[in-house]
Structure 1
Amino acid sequence: MSSDPSTVPAALAAALRANQNAPLITYYDERLGERTELSAATLDNWVAKTANLLVDGAALGPDDSAAVLLPAHWQTAAVLLGCLTAGVPVRFGAAATGPTPVDVAFATVDRAEQARAARPAETYLLGLAPMAMPLREVPDGAQDYVVAVRAFGDRYSSAPADPSGIAWYEPEPVHQTALADRARRHAGESGLLPGGRLLVPVDAEPDPVAWLFAPLMLGASVVLVRNADAERLDAIAATERVTTRT
């Protein structure tokens, strides 16, 4: 990249300018036989749709907040980057519930009760199924994220998020530029290089800074792998030309 982006959404925009067809996220689930690859352009479309859902659909902004209760997955990337693009601060994982209600929640179906504990005005549930298939059944009081988000435009034309605005609560606020700086430092410490490919096993729940924001800030890409043994991880690493592993 010709210059260092100051925010994570700016890093996505830089990746799009550099090569919109280059893969940014490749996701494997060996139990389901799934391999999904998102180019910079495809990820950007999902991010724009999510940001438009938040801004145009739910009328949210920097004074609001989103609870995100999702594992490492390409749809999680769309949700998190959509929130940052729209300037809606994120309460992730353990920080999702607290004394202050959130305005919107994104969660897997099995974490719907935890999402309700965050007292959101709107709840979007994700099945994380291959090919972004919709939920077979949507619980009362919630919407299916992949159905709802497809109604919104794949270009985000609202004002960009303020770099000095809050991006993250953990539970203390982290501003957009501070989150980007943290991700850039993590990328440097990991040994990942610009243009590299990072392999991340995701049977645990890795920090989004490590698996999503850091590669983006560095101009690298990520391969997420679920339900694979060590031998299969080695084979995927070779196939995907991985340069760095967690």
Structure 2
Amino acid sequence: MNATDRTPADLLRSALAADPGRPLVTFYDDATGERVELSVATFANWVAKTANLLQGDLGAGPGDRVVLLLPAHWQTAVWLLACSSVGVVADVGGDPAGADVVVSGPESLDVARACRGERVALALRPLGGRFPQVPDGFVDYAVEVPGQGDRFVAFSPVDPDEVSLVVAGREFSGAEVVERARESSGGERVLSGLSYDTWDGVNVGLYGALASGGSVVLCRNLEALGEEALAKRVESERVTAIRR
């Protein structure tokens, strides 16, 4: 993190410059047994590809609203930073009816069809797998993103004072996200079972780690894990704090 960072995308660029090889997001899905670990560099590559998809193929730009109908997941974290990179508003769990773009997991496709703009579907399968059949009216993220460029340059400068994030109905500018994320304690490796539908969820599960030089063990369906197994995970992942 640098003192000049004003947007979440700035935080990611600073983390990449400081230590690209350190773990940033380790994701578990305790309903499927999936585990994925992303270093800062790998995460940033996914963000660049997704931002290129969002800006180029989907035609999104500053002021547009992207509704994210997604659980706490490593791909959701990627989309949050891609939105910040382009300068669009990431509306977590918002109403897709008035959105310019909707990004949906498999469980919310019917709701997402209310969007009259571009629709993106994420299968949320292990290893970033595709849908067996692309949902009607959507593009499959896993099909579209691999061919995108590994470097991203925004067509328009991102204004840190404009709305960047909406979560639980509350609007945050990019600068406010950064300021609030900086309040997190530094260097922790936090295990989070929180959903992304509150500020605490997205902060503990992403922004705080970026701002503090820490990392997050992001757990979906954590309730399926017993206390003994949880204790083993805390030990094996060298977790220093738990939020659930």
> Structure 2 length as normaliser, TM-score?
0.89
Q: After superposition, give the CA deviation of every residue in 1:159-200 in whole Å (9 maximum; x if it has no partner).
A: 552212220235454211012222233x2xxxxx32220001
Indicate yes or no: 2:168 matched with 1:176. Answer: no
Q: 2:99 aligns with which of 102, 125, 147?
A: 102
- The residue matched to 2:239 in structure 1 has which SS? coil
| Contact 1:62–1:166 (8 Å) recurs in 2 | no
Equivalent-residue separation in structure 1 for 2:2 and 2:145 (angstroms): 33
Equivalent-residue separation in structure 2 for 1:182 and 1:175 (angstroms): 11
| Contact 1:8–1:176 (8 Å) recurs in 2 | yes
- The residue matched to 2:64 in structure 1 has which SS? coil
**Paired position in structure 2 for 1:92:** 92
Q: After superposition, give the CA deviation of every residue in 1:137-178 in whole Å (9 maximum; x if it has no partner).
A: 221101111211122101112255221222023545421101
**Paired position in structure 2 for 1:194:** 186
Gaps of 5+ in 1: 188-192
Q: Which moved more, 1:29-38 or 1:134-143?
A: 29-38
Change (3 A) 1:204 1:33: same
Alignment of 1:17-166 (within 5 A): 17-93=17-93, 96-97=94-95, 101-117=98-114, 119-158=115-154, 159-166=156-163
Q: How high is the sequence identity, in percent, across the aligned residues?
A: 38
| Contact 1:11–1:219 (8 Å) recurs in 2 | no
The number of aligned residues is 236
Q: After superposition, give the CA deviation of every residue in 1:86-125 in whole Å (9 maximum; x if it has no partner).
A: 10111111xx117x611111111110112123x2411111
Shift of 1:214: 1.7
Q: 1:222 aligns with which of 193, 216, 222?
A: 216
Equivalent-residue separation in structure 2 for 1:2 and 1:102 (angstroms): 33
RMSD over aligned CA atoms reads 2.0
Equivalent-residue separation in structure 1 for 2:226 and 2:15 (angstroms): 31
**Paired position in structure 1 for 2:207:** 213
Corresponding letter in the other structure for 1:53: L
Equivalent-residue separation in structure 2 for 1:208 and 1:168 (angstroms): 10
> Structure 1 length as normaliser, TM-score?
0.88
Q: Which moved more, 1:227-236 or 1:158-167?
A: 158-167
| Contact 1:101–1:120 (8 Å) recurs in 2 | yes
Equivalent-residue separation in structure 1 for 2:196 and 2:186 (angstroms): 26
